[in-house]
Amino acid sequence: MIKPLSPSLPAPQWDIHAPGRVNLLGEHVDYNDGIVLPAAIDRYVHLQAVETGHTRVELTALDLGEKITFDLENLQPQALPDWARYPAGVAWAALQRGLPVSGIRAVYTSSVPIGAGLSSSAAVEVAFGALWNELNRWGLSRLELAQLCQQAENRFVGVNCGLMDQFASACGIKGHALMFDTRSLSYEPVPLPASTALVIADSGMRRTLANSAYNQRRADCEEAVRLLRVYLPGIRSLRDVRLDDFNRFSAHLPEQVGRHARHVVEEIARVEKAVDLLKQGDGAAFGQLMVEGHASLRDLYQVSIPELDRLVEIATCLPGCLGARLTGAGFGGCTVNLVEEESAQIFAQRLAQEYTLRTGKTGEIYLCHASEGVHVQTG
């Protein structure tokens, strides 16, 4: 018997946990065919549902105290509040592919903070996708499920994200980061250094204008490829541009485009180095690359904010910290810190205190570990 989250679902048939994620390195490279290194975290969207036998979806978002009903035969984003567009988008993407989607009554709650850059929306999509995948026997692999959810976000919600967040929520592996090649779509779990914790520091700053700035960065990357193709025929994306070639030709790019593209080219090279270090278990050298990655996001890609910079500065001076950087799209949200397990509690306390002293703002710290991807149970 599944214990119901809400009295409105006395006997849930389905119980799903889909995790949020952090990205350890490889930021803003998933839409440039690069390699990313995310890990699912032990904070989850928790969804319960029963099948209703008609074409309506009745949703309750417990944390928001909101309810809505929509019909699967008439799915339109404009008619829905923001939060309902994620589940509805998944249904829409499935129907587009000719997959069956059952009407459900569903409730959900989330321990992934909203708008903090920990992929709460991808976790909602993956939770609903995993539910329908089982309920309607779609037979999708976890990677295919992630792709369906990305399509929901790109085409129904209208956010032009890459595949990393949905992938991490669907495919996470306990104790591991996932080296995910967003071009070949192959992936490999890489163990995190022994006896380390992922300490996530939430700046409390929510991402404003993030969507338009994100799309602008994407456009700059595409523009760089278009202009560099004159000198490097045959390149399809910034993944194809080696650093020495970039150095030879970057003077031909407009200043901002060149700066943004440099981050991507260098970050892709950094991830390749970082994966080797992780495989050798060299947490200290890996952590150093995280710090370099942050500097690049701050100075070249220009997606950091002062609060995130302060969090990284403070963290790197505290005992037990191997590495620190902003995680996710930036413009607000969280930093991720790789910290020796035995120092993690004190590190967390001191980081929070010092952050308030330096900025006057209140941050929140989540002590996390790398976790399994989405899990579906039926009762």
So which residues are the catalytic ones? 165
What b-and-e string marks burial along 281-296, b requiring 16 or more CB atoms within 10 Å of the CB? eebeebbbbbbbbbeb
The length of the chain in residues reads 379
Least distance in angstroms from the C-beta of 162 to ligand GLA: 3
> Could you tell me the smallest distance in angstroms from the CB atom of residue 158 to ligand GLA?
13
Question: Using CA atoms, how far apart are residues 199 and 190, in angstroms rounded to an integer?
Answer: 18
Binding site for ligand GLA (CB under 6 A): 23, 27-28, 30-31, 161-162, 164-165, 328-329
Sign of CA dihedral 41, 44, 45, 47: positive
CA distance 225 to 257: 10
Q: Which is nearer to ligand GLA, 56 or 259 (CB)?
A: 259
Which is nearer to ligand GLA, 117 or 204 (by Cβ)?
117
**With contact defined as beta carbons under 8 Å apart, do 44 and 20 qualify?**
yes
**Residue (57 or 122) nearer to ligand GLA, CB:** 122
Q: Which is nearer to ligand GLA, 218 or 358 (CB)?
A: 218
Least distance to ligand GLA, CB of residue 123, Å: 12
Tokens at 74, concatenated: 């008439």
Nearer to ligand GLA, 35 or 75 (CB): 35
Task: Compute the least distance from the CB of residue 117 to ligand GLA, in Å.
Answer: 7
CB of residue 251 to ligand GLA, shortest distance in Å: 27
Residue 214 tokens, joined: 């994100």
Rounded Cα distance, 6 and 62, in Å = 8
For residues 202 and 367, the answer to whether their CB atoms sit within 8 Å is no
Please name which of 253, 257, 226, 254 lies closest in space to residue 240, comparing C-alpha atoms: 226
Which phi and psi (to 5°) does residue 374 adopt? -55, 140
